[in-house]
């Protein structure tokens, strides 16, 4: 039996619809428009594409979008001054500093200068600690998107065995915390895990976030398991012509889809959920800042 395809593009569209509905109600009932500020330092092409997409989708759901583009040689002092200004701007409810930053800037220092309440990426050390101790926090967007899709597919996650492959601060660790919060039994696996294939075969849920193209083959997947592939890797595709490439995940899709119960494709799986959850986090931050009830279905 072929796996159910978890369509992240379609699911992200439903999340954005919910966000737009909450934004409309905030405007109508409270006279408040959520605002998202994105800070881009330098000319990294991929970052420029992401920032444009974020700005476009922010406006489409009815929120205010503020973009601050700074030169690649911007000093730490100048960048911190912009963040301080945004921290103190009541019209800005979410602040995102696009990563990676130029090498002369201390990413930890910059991220931790953002007000935790406006840290819609969920990377501030205070939010990391709150999430790790099961308290209310801003949740990193990619893991939040994965959790939403898993809840939608399974309903309750309670009691399921979950293996997260990857231990990054951006995806692996917060993903494990979210799954624990939904009462999964969680294993964090990585490149040095002994008998990694056997560890993965014991999972009802596999979240692959290692950044290695097609590292996880289908024979690692237990029959009927749910596979969430966070990886986005570009590899050579000579079959498409000289110099051509294609996107693949951390899971070998064809072999995994033959045994899994459900699987996210790459592209079109987890990727579209990240910006959708950024918008959701901004609405959540706006509601919290104004003492209003949080939007249902958009938070962990």
Q: Which residues contact 114 (CB under 8 A, 6 or more apart)?
A: 83, 86, 87, 95, 97, 124
Which residue among the candidates 54, 119, 177, 204 is catalytic per the annotation?
A: 54
Is 57 known to be catalytic?
Answer: no
How far apart CA 88 and CA 76 sit, in angstroms, is 18
Q: What is the rounded end-to-end Cα distance, in angstroms, of the chain? A: 32
Is 121 known to be catalytic?
Answer: yes
Which residue among the candidates 121, 204, 229, 250 is catalytic per the annotation?
A: 121
* Contact between 30 and 292 (Cβ < 8 Å): yes
Which residue among the candidates 98, 119, 204, 229 is catalytic per the annotation?
A: 98
* Contact between 142 and 271 (Cβ < 8 Å): no
How far apart CA 156 and CA 36 sit, in angstroms, is 32
Give the C-alpha distances (Å, rounded to integers) separating 111 from 18, 37, 49, 153, 279: 28, 14, 21, 33, 19
Which amino acids are annotated catalytic?
54, 98, 121
């Amino acid at each position: 039996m072929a796996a159910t395809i978890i369509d992240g593009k379609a699911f992200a569209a439903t999340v954005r619809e919910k966000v737009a509905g909450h934004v409309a109600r905030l405007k109508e009932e409270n006279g408040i428009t959520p605002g998202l500020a994105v800070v881009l330092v330098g000319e990294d092409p991929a970052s420029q594409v992401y920032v444009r997409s974020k700005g476009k989708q922010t406006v489409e759901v009815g929120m205010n979008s503020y973009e601050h583009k700074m030169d690649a040689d911007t000093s730490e002092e100048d960048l911190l001054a912009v963040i301080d200004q945004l921290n103190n701007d009541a019209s800005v409810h979410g602040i995102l500093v696009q990563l990676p930053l130029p090498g002369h800037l201390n990413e930890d220092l910059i991220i931790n200068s953002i007000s935790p309440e406006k840290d819609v990426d969920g990377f501030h050390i205070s939010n990391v600690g709150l999430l790790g101790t099961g308290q209310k926090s801003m949740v990193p967007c990619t893991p939040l998107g994965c959790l939403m899709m898993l809840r939608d597919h399974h309903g309750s996650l309670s009691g399921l065995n979950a293996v997260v492959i990857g231990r990054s601060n951006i995806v692996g660790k917060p993903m494990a915390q979210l799954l624990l919060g939904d009462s999964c039994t969680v294993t964090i696996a990585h490149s040095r895990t002994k008998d990694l294939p056997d560890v993965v075969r014991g999972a009802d849920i596999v979240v692959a976030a290692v950044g290695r193209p097609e590292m996880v083959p289908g024979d690692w997947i237990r029959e009927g398991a749910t596979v969430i592939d966070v990886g986005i890797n570009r590899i050579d595709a000579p079959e498409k012509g000289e110099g051509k490439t294609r996107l693949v995940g951390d899971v070998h899709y064809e072999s995994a889809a033959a045994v899994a119960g459900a699987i996210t494709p790459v592209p079109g799986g987890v990727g579209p959920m990240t910006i959708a959850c950024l918008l959701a986090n901004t609405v959540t931050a706006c509601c919290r800042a104004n003492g209003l009830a949080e939007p249902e279905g958009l938070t962990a």
